Amino acid sequence: MNSTDSPPRSAAPLCAGPLTVLGIDVTSAPGRRKPLACAAGILQADTLHIDRLHAVTALHGLPRHTGANTPWQAEMLLCAPPASLEHLLAHKGPWIAGFDMPFGLPAAFLHWWQQAQRDCRTPLRKAAPLCEPASELPCWQDYVSSLAQLDKDAFRQTIYAFMNTRPTGHKLPLRLTDAQTAAQSPLRLNYVPVGRMFHALVPLLASCGINIPLLRPTTDSRTAIEVYPALAARAVLGNPPRYKDGTGAQRQQRTQARAALLEALPEYCRTIGGLALSVRPQLYQTMLQDTAGDFADALLCAVLTALAVRRRDAGMPPVPHLKMYHEGCIALQDMFCPPQPHGSGTTAPA
């Protein structure tokens, strides 16, 4: 798809009946000590029922004695934890999942990467421009597939090579959506390594044919959107919301903050989006005891996903900037953050 075309906003409406909703807090290398945290439930009319918290301990792999064409139903996600992210994505729709990770990369990097691909003789020496016309950016499916061919070390070295072409203060550029929501750069490889999350997980989304609004709309009844639990946490607890990790006395304070967050969340859902939230009582204890806050974040992801379902185009902006068809967009950013003007001639038609 050429950037100068008018891209489709959404290929198919989301399910009008009961819909399986998943909220997924992401790690780039899930295992038993640090799994993908998943909150699973059903959105029925105006109520989100959260029934399960799953710990997904692998990215790849299907259950034994099954094949890729096994018809796993969406309802099964409310029963047993999926064996892997690949297994989760293989479940038939209708379902929608909100992932706490960037689905795309900044335009500055994409422009540099595309130029590097065109000139294989000196791919890592070209200076990356600070402003990039959207009409010259590669399409999402193409650059995700290309970067997926790099192993972890090669991807890391590619990011560092890009950073070396940038002036001080511009090493880690943001996407438009990151700037609006105060999110991390998707190129960050340490502290909150969202770049590693992108490289490890997004190719799985790109390869399984699911509907991804703006970036790769399809008619599939499985949908994935990018959500940012900090948006809801800030709104409930203030900024910065401190409800995770900590040491010593901090840990007790942050457990209390998680309790306050979980207690206030149902009323907040009703106020901001007319959404009733119902969570099994025993799940609250799991979220309170999880000092990392991963399961609390998974719940926030599920709530944001349900709120997005109730809005047009799964929570995408009413008039997306053209770059968002390449970079991606955090769902509901306009609900939580005041929109920023894009200037004339830069938006895609609705």
Burial of 238 (0-12, 13-18, 19+ CB in 10 A): exposed
**CA-based nearest residue to 294, from 345, 258, 249:** 258
311 token code pair: 């809005």
CA–CA separation, 303 vs 203, rounded Å?
A: 25
Percent of the chain with pLDDT over 70: 85
For residues 140 and 213, is the Cβ–Cβ distance under 8 A?
no
> How far does the chain reach from its first CA to its final CA, in angstroms?
16
Stretch 189-196: mean pLDDT, rounded?
A: 94
**What's the Cα-to-Cα distance from 302 to each of 118, 154, 163, 198, 282, rounded to whole Å?**
41, 33, 34, 20, 17
pLDDT of residue 152: 96
Complete DSSP assignment for 49-98:
EEEEEEEE--SS---TT--TT----GGGGGTS--SSHHHHHHS-SSEEEE
* Residue 183 CB contacts under 8 Å (≥ 6 apart), including other chains: 102, 174, 177, 228, 230, 330
Backbone angles phi, psi at 124, to 5 degrees: -110, 10
For residues 25 and 302, is the Cβ–Cβ distance under 8 A?
no
At 134, the amino acid letter reads A
CA–CA separation, 224 vs 144, rounded Å?
A: 15
pLDDT of residue 297: 97
- pLDDT of 96-122, one tens digit each? 999 999 999 999 999 999 988 877 644
Stretch 311-326: mean pLDDT, rounded?
A: 91
Grade residue 66 by pLDDT with cuts at 50, 70 and 90.
low
Grade residue 65 by pLDDT with cuts at 50, 70 and 90.
low
Backbone angles phi, psi at 200, to 5 degrees: -80, -35
56 token code pair: 């997904």
- pLDDT of 197-212, one tens digit each? 999 999 999 999 999 9
Is the pLDDT at 178 greater than 50? The verdict is yes
Is the pLDDT at 341 greater than 80? The verdict is no
C-alpha angle 80-208-85 in degrees, rounded to nearest 5: 30
51 token code pair: 């029934």
Q: Is domain 19-102+207-312 annotated with CATH 3.30.420?
A: yes
Is the pLDDT at 35 greater than 50? The verdict is yes
State pTM to two decimals: 0.89
For residues 269 and 307, is the Cβ–Cβ distance under 8 A?
yes
